[in-house]
Amino acid sequence: MDVIYSLIPGMVFFGLVFVGVLIWAVKKGQYEDMEGNASRILLDDDEDTMLHHDQKVHAPKA
């Protein structure tokens, strides 16, 4: 029973720390754009990169 009396204040402390970090993250804008990265990964921007790479590989040597 003595263990419970020492664990309860510790868990309350960690809970308050967690809530504080969550509030800090929301105020800093960490959760503003939840869908941006998820949809950006579907965009096909590899063609430009490959085009520049092919031009460098197949460029005539001087």
What pLDDT does 41 receive? 75
Give me Rg for the CA atoms of the chain: 26
* CA–CA gap between residue 47 and residue 40 (Å, rounded): 15
Phi and psi of 57, rounded to 5°? -75, -40
Tell me the whole-structure pTM to 2 decimals: 0.52
* CA–CA gap between residue 41 and residue 35 (Å, rounded): 10
Per-residue DSSP letter, 58? S
What pLDDT does 62 receive? 54
The tens digit of pLDDT for each residue in 28-60 reads 988 887 777 777 777 776 666 655 655 655 555
What pLDDT does 2 receive? 85
CA 49, 52, 58, 62 dihedral sign is: negative
Per-residue DSSP letter, 60? P
